[in-house]
Chain A
Amino acid sequence: MTVSTFATGLRAMLTAGAVLCPAVAGAQAVDYQALQETIGEPVTTSVTGKPQRASELPASAIIITREDIARSPARDVPGLLKTHAGIDVNRWTAGQSDVSVRGGVQTYNARLLVLVDGRQVYLDHYGMTDWNLLGVQLEEIQQIELVRGPANALFGFNAASGVVNIITRRVGQTPTVTATAELGNHDISRLAGSVTLPVTPAIGIRLAGVRAREDERRIPATLLRPAMVSDVASDQVSGDITGSFDGLETVLGGGHSTNRQAEYLPSQLLSNQRYRSDNVHASATRDTGWGGVTLGGYVNWLDVQYGVGATADATEPLGFKNRIIVTQASTLVRLGKTDTLRLGGEYRNNRLRSAYQFAERISYDVGSANAMLDLHPDEAISITAAARIDRLWLHQAGAIAQPSYDVASDFDRAFTRFSFNVALLVQTDARGQLRINGGRGYQLPSLVNYGIRLPIITPAPVPIFVAGSPRIDPVGVWSGEVGYARTIGGTQIEANAFVTKTDNAIASPGDGLQTELFLTPLPSLVARFTAIGDYTTYGTEVSASGAVGALTWRANYTWTHTDEQLASLTLPIPYALSPKSTTPVHKANLALGYDIGRLSLSGVARYTSSTRQFAFSSTPQLLLYRVDDAVALDARVGLRLTSALEVYVAGENLALADGAAVSPIPADRRVRAGVRLAL
């Protein structure tokens, strides 16, 4: 059955996504900066859970260091990731970004797990990441780690296409202050600062905060839009206390973040959202002669309102309150001189409260156990195997909304999933390295996918609801990768070939709602979140980097091909999911950096081939809009006035390429100037 979906309230049909259940990688006791300075290259724990050199990882990974961040024209984490191979960043609106790894571009991407110091900042209610609600600012980041490909065996549900772990700076032996103030066109303003303070040799304090504002882009009149569109506003404060006591490292902290912005929902309706997030976290890591033990936990609270000010009469927004409680324990055991075993366990409770779902509370508990074995049978060979088992119990509680389209017992459900990763790394000679890996992971349906029940306003003679389904299954992902890296002179080259197969991808109802008819107590129609089919992504990534004198350079090219067996794209389009349409086939990036005296120059050129992206027309009708291929130019010029003070000018999309944002809303040019203090 086909029904056009538009209503005055744009009653945000919260659409597709999937929750993930990440597991903290722990290892907070690792002093990344000190280790990097000691061994001469970045160190990460995000691939296997043990500290590893960037050049010896059993999976394809990106590590963006503090130095990279300081000289980049980018002003947020997606902006830093977008210039790397295999990464798609869609700037749907001025505030809303989605980061996709190796294809599968969609709004509210549920397949990429995002962590800050191992704590999940991915939002479980809908299965998405609000990159303006991370609670961390660029000035306090030590490094950003991105693992391409499923990493479920370490992190659990939802690291289905990869994981981003943002590592913040540790409190050192001397106080530090960083502060940035900048202004730009489109009413860009940003004031950020962070302080680290060693109170005693063993105890340190870190405080950080940011206030950022900018205007929304101009939305073409041909696109459906709320009567009022929010500009972007985000405010964050965070702090923690760290302790270091002869091999015992402790962290206790918390944060508060708010964000307001316009977003494309998974249904592709444009809606204003208001987020508020709070967290507390604690961890303790004990270093021992045989390895180490980490205990940790955190609580995240999210209060989000959808459809804020969607109409001039300010229709009441839809409110959702999500709370997750996570406790984790893991141990790293050194087996002999070269091998490592990691064992971990996790429990999490995830609860969503809203008037717009089957019952007042939809929740689940997940118990997990995982193991990783890293073996080095030969100096030139390493074999890594990781496995994880997750058991989920789904629940509902509180008053059941009437009329209901499921029975309460449907939510009395449990299932188990087993995920794994295996990798072989061969040092072919002193300068070459072959990597083969693969794995199986899962994307968990979000709490919205399970339990939403949202009336929508249509001209239809019977009520229509968008609903989740307690019977929906996790999305399975198979992946495989072959990579080769080589150093030739001062040039580092890496080539990867990958395949990722996604089974039973979940989609939100779009246009032309496919509905179930219920006759009692009164006739009504229900359109559900559902699994609509499979898709497979193949591709290659080629990257090279090096330096010529004071000039540093980095270049990469990505080819991505998608085969999909999903819902029809003929009008009316029933589901807004088509990775084949939305993922660029070709991408290329060239980044240059040059330091001359006190002057620091950097620039990035990014090519993205044309795509088609979903959006509702003003008619309203769900359509695929062509987004032209684009060459986007970003640049930054910095002048150090003193060793601690720098003034800079930076700009994004300087050539004003409409397709640079890979969004139905054309990109604009954003230029800003600022001053940066680092003491």
Chain B
Amino acid sequence: MCGVAALGSATPLSAELNVPIAARVVSFLQPGPAGTVAAAIVFEPGNAASEAEAAAIERAIGSGLAAGRSAIRARRVPVGAIGSLAGFRLAFVTTGLRPEHAGIAAAAARSSVLTISSDPACVQTARCVVGITSGPKTQIIVNRAAARAANIRFGSAFLMLIKEI
């Protein structure tokens, strides 16, 4: 369970990231990913909420999680070492990292990395490309500006079904 509520956000926050949905979102990238998709789990050592979500994401991915024609394989990247995300195609931004969002976004833009978070604030502030929230209906939010900054493009059918901001 993420502890974002402790940060005092006015926005309702979701539980930990729905990784299977995140993997499906990856499959709608254009061009479609094939082979292994290297994913970074960006977390903050010592931040309990962040570490807990990182562990949950690791468990969900296991030794590899299918995403269309590709398989996601992930490893942890401490937020302090976020200077370069080179070699990654995808980054899961764990909760509790709001002060680091700007740096994460800059690194992701430099390396054309798709950032996904369960923290809506990261998407609403154009620091993350995709936000996934849970509730009565699965809500997927894509930030167009963040996507453009990282040179990320999704299939149009997918974009017509989600909320783009």
Contact = CB atoms under 8 A, between A and B. Distances in A.
Contacts of A290: 156
Contacts of A586: none
Given A246-B30, A289-B153, A34 B68 contact: yes
A407 interface: no
Contacts of B21: 38
Interface in A37-91: 37-41, 43, 50-53, 55
Interface stretch (B48-56, B76-84, B100-108, B132-140): B132-140
Contacts of A291: 156
A289 B144 CA distance: 11
A632 interface: no
A340 B160 contact: yes
Nearest to A289: B153
Nearest to A38: B24
Contact of B157 (A37, A51, A246, A430): A51
Contacts of B136: 430-431, 487
A226 B145 CA distance: 71
Contacts of A29: 155, 157
B68 to A, nearest CB: 7
B30 A337 contact: no
A512 B157 CA distance: 55
A32 to B, nearest CB: 10
A633 B144 CA distance: 52
B158 A35 contact: yes
B145 to A, nearest CB: 11
Contact of B140 (A37, A38, A332, A430): A38
Contacts, number: 74
Nearest to A41: B137
Contacts of A288: 156
B156 A292 contact: yes
Contacts of B158: 35, 38
Interface string A320-363: 00000000000010100110100000000000000000000000
A52 B160 contact: yes
Given A34-B24, A430-B136, A287 B30 contact: yes
Interface residues of A, number: 36
B31 A43 contact: no
Contact of A27 (B66, B69, B137, B157): B157
Contact of A39 (B27, B140, B153, B165): B140
Contacts of B68: 34, 173
B157 A201 contact: no
Nearest to A245: B31
Contact of A53 (B25, B69, B161): B161
B86 interface: no
Contact of A334 (B28, B31, B153, B156): B156
B160 A51 contact: yes
Contacts of B153: 289
Contact of B161 (A43, A244, A246, A337): A43
Contacts of A334: 156, 159-160
B155 A287 contact: yes
Contacts of B159: 334
A30 interface: yes
A30 B161 CA distance: 11
Nearest to A32: B157
B60 interface: no
Interface string A252-295: 00000000000000000000000000000000000111111000
A39 B138 contact: yes
Interface in B84-98: none
A173 B24 contact: no
Contacts of B28: 34, 38
Interface in B120-143: 136-138, 140
Interface string A163-189: 000000000010000000000000000
A40 B132 CA distance: 12
Contacts of A30: 157
A247 interface: yes
* Interface pairs A-B: 6 shortest CB-CB: A38-B24, A246-B31, A40-B138, A337-B164, A51-B157, A30-B157
5 contacts: A30-B157, A40-B138, A51-B160, A287-B157, A334-B159
Interface of B: 21, 24-25, 27-28, 30-32, 34, 66, 68-69, 136-138, 140, 144, 153, 155-162, 164-165
Interface of A: 27, 29-31, 34-35, 37-41, 43, 50-53, 55, 173, 201, 244, 246-247, 287-292, 332, 334, 337-338, 340, 430-431, 487
